[in-house]
Chains A and B, each alone.
Chain A
């Protein structure tokens, strides 16, 4: 935008704006690097633990952000109900693991039942997401963009009130089956729970990558995302492909729900609003529609939040959201398409 505006201005102005455009991102990154370096020198162990917290958050955000980005990539809808789907996933996880299966402690059985819960919650959230698309968004596919968007906001409230009925209005505590304690050298400690989160998230992301690049359904997804009519001519069923995308996005939100419920141990009906919004920011930061971007954006925001909240020179937890959004706004000014996104001019 800014670049086209300057083309009519005097040459000197073009130069200055171009220079600002080019180096602003570098200056911001340099500033962040100096800030991180100062913290690292000041207190290496605190830096390390803040980084671990950030990594944990980041993987959660990445899993949720993927759901936003997959759906946006295929039907250009920002599915505002996605955060609330994650919240329902967290509730279902507690319900299945503790209420139904009665597991309250760590141990081998705990891990096995945790895996069962993950699969169950993935199916649960995937199913709800497919149903949402079928009931609400599919009818509006040819309607003006605003109609499905408003419907998504409405769906967000519907899911939130389901959560309110299910969870109650006050936060609910759950026992964790994740192993307690940590390991490491001296002050550099890694929680076992973080290991479990990594052990779940990384394979899930690799599986997603494999589905998208190598399976028939994945190819159909990419084809529909790039040109719906052309995909139809190849014999791709667009409806089925969109349903599949919602299934995958929902399953990822379900995985995040289990992780959150287990690591944090508390659920609330309005969980989806806050985390969903931050995950959405992650997807935009990475370049909405770009799958690698959603993971990168999620990890970056998680780390930023972790460092901001836990470092001696940070702003502290009460400024957490302000810092995240300030970074988003700065990036949007200088790189509106997101870190890995394509410039919007390419899309015609």
Chain B
């Protein structure tokens, strides 16, 4: 690991992607992306539709194979770890389109988030913490998740991922299709999740809001890294403003 050079941080990186290539069949969706996430950060991945943001998250979670390049998480190689083992390593993923279990209740969905955990008391404490984060979920514990509104389902998807007590939380488009009021709630929650000690890698189309909460940002364009840097600097970069912030 060469993270100790004159780069941004001298800490050990939590997640390091080194020139990864990810394919859908024969089509390259991510081409040689390198990315580093340090403990305690909120890092955001922005870019237009089809830039490879979700693909990157799916590769980290093991849902898609990485054809070239290496992924390292907490000093251990992440390539080739079976998909269901990734969460055991400490990475939870709240996927694009929420993907909650529609015919399970809210309670059962949260329960699934802690599927691999055996520490009953800590699970109960985390459940309580999540229900405090999202009071709406508490009101709906016995409701079938598929019958809830999009915003409530999004809260459930984030809460369910948190139930794994991850060290790194991958959030894919948590604001998609939500009313502006709810978007604010979701982003406030992301900040609070970080305050509780969870590192966040956030994929967003809503670049403005993402840059507002993030420490650093990576801008993707058709599968490659276009630029990266501190979020507040990127938010003022004229090119970024023009391309992604509708300026």
Binding site for B on A (CB under 8 A): 216, 219-220, 222-223, 226-227, 229-238, 346
Asked if B87 contacts A233 (CB within 8 A), the reply is yes
Q: Is there contact, CB below 8 Å, between B103 and A222?
A: yes
Residues on B close to A: CB < 8 A?
61-63, 82-88, 92-93, 95, 99-104, 108, 111-113, 115-116, 146, 160-161, 164
Q: Is the CB of A227 within 8 A of B112?
A: no
Closest to A232 in B: B83
Interchain nearest-CB distance for B192 vs A (Å): 22
In the bound complex, CA of A226 to CA of B100 (Å): 9
Sample of 13 further A-B pairs with CB below 8 A, known A219-B108, A232-B83: A220-B115, A223-B101, A223-B112, A226-B104, A230-B100, A231-B112, A234-B87, A234-B113, A234-B116, A234-B160, A235-B84, A235-B116, A238-B83
List B contacts of A230 (CB < 8 A). Answer: 95, 99-101
Given the interface pairs A233-B63, A235-B87, A235-B88, the reply to whether A222 lies near B101 with Cβ below 8 Å is yes
| A233-B103 contact in complex given A219-B111, A238-B84, C-beta closer than 8 Å | no
Tell me how far the C-beta of A34 lies from the nearest C-beta in chain B, rounded to whole angstroms: 37
The complex places the Cα of A324 from the Cα of B115 at a distance, in Å, of 43
Cβ-defined contact, B84 with A237, below 8 A: yes
Cross-chain pairs A/B with CB under 8 angstroms, 10 sampled: A226-B103, A227-B99, A229-B63, A229-B99, A230-B99, A232-B62, A232-B83, A232-B84, A233-B87, A236-B115
Quote the shortest CB–CB distance from A234 to chain B (angstroms): 4
With both beta carbons as reference points, the residue of chain B lying nearest to A241 in the complex is identified as B84
In Å, the complex CA distance between A227 and B156 comes to: 15
Q: Complex: how many Å from CA A220 to CA B115? A: 8
Q: B122: shortest Cβ distance to chain A, in Å?
A: 16
Query: Which of A223, A231, A237 is close to B82, meaning CB atoms less than 8 Å apart?
Result: A237
- Contact residues in A for B101 (Cβ distance below 8 Å): 222-223, 226-227, 230
Q: A235-B164, A237-B84 are in contact. Are A226 and B102 (CB under 8 A)?
A: yes
Docked Cα-Cα span, A238 to B85, in Å, equals 11
Tell me, in angstroms, the Cα distance from A226 to B146 when the chains sit together: 11
Bound together, the chains give a CA A237 to CA B81 distance in angstroms of 12
B-chain residues with CB within 8 Å of residue A229 when the two chains form the complex: 63, 95, 99
Contact of B104 among A222, A233, A235, A236 (CB under 8 A): A222
CB distance from A241 to the nearest CB of B (A): 9
Which chain A positions have C-beta within 8 A of B146?
346
Q: Are B112 and A219 in contact (CB under 8 A)?
A: yes
- Distance of A236 Cα from B164 Cα, bound (Å): 12
Minimum CB–CB distance from B136 to chain A (whole Å) comes to: 20
| Interchain nearest-CB distance for B150 vs A (Å) | 14
B83 to chain A: which residues have CB within 8 Å? 232-233, 238
**Min CB–CB distance B207 → chain A (angstroms):** 25
Bound CA span A299–B108, Å? 30
Q: Which residue of A lies closest to B117 (CB)?
A: A235
Interchain CB contact under 8 A, B63 and A232: yes
Chain B positions within 8 Å of A227 at CB level: 99-102
Contacts of B93 in A (CB 8 A): 233
Distance in angstroms from A253 CB to nearest chain B CB is 25
Residues of chain A contacted by B86 (CB below 8 angstroms): 233
Which residue of B has the minimal Cβ distance to A226?
B101
A243 to chain B, nearest CB (A): 14
Min Cβ gap B85→A in Å is 7
